[in-house]
Amino acid sequence: MEKMIYRKIELENNQTLVISDLSRKITLDAYVVIMKADIEIKIEKELFSDNLLSDFKFQDILAKLGDKVVYEYKIERNFIMDKKKGKVFEALVKTFLDNLGQYVAKPNFPGKFILKEYKDRIKQIQKC
């Protein structure tokens, strides 16, 4: 699947939102239209409010997750006719930006997302 970057947006929280078009042809004149939004978040202590994180916990987060995490959101619409592909893709982008764009741009989003990923990883390890 070829990833075509549609748009890069620098967010207020110093992260970069990358919107990609992963659409692919499924018949002669129809597509599955796929919009993917992702943010690669470098794990840095400054992303957490001081009272949330001790040095020990920060080191544990790095040990469990590595030095970055990726927020990813993907939505697709199936069997879109060729001539409507562009409009459908742009509608998916607009819906994402209208509904989640402000949320992922918030100053506390990167730190909260990292903590969520960390907690999910701990749960995964405990299940094994």
> pLDDT by residue (tens digit) across 65-105?
999 999 999 999 999 999 999 999 999 999 999 999 999 99
Backbone angles phi, psi at 55, to 5 degrees: -60, -40
Cβ contacts of 8 within 8 Å, gap of 6 or more: 16, 17, 18, 19
Q: What is the pTM of this model?
A: 0.90
> Pick the residue with more confidence: 125 or 64?
64
What's the rounded mean pLDDT across residues 106-116?
95
Contact 96, 41 (CB under 8 A): no
The whole-number pLDDT of residue 128 equals 80
Distance spanning both ends of the chain, measured CA to CA: 32
Confidence of residue 57 (pLDDT cuts 50, 70, 90): confident
Residue 51 has pLDDT above 70, yes or no: no
pLDDT at 52: 63
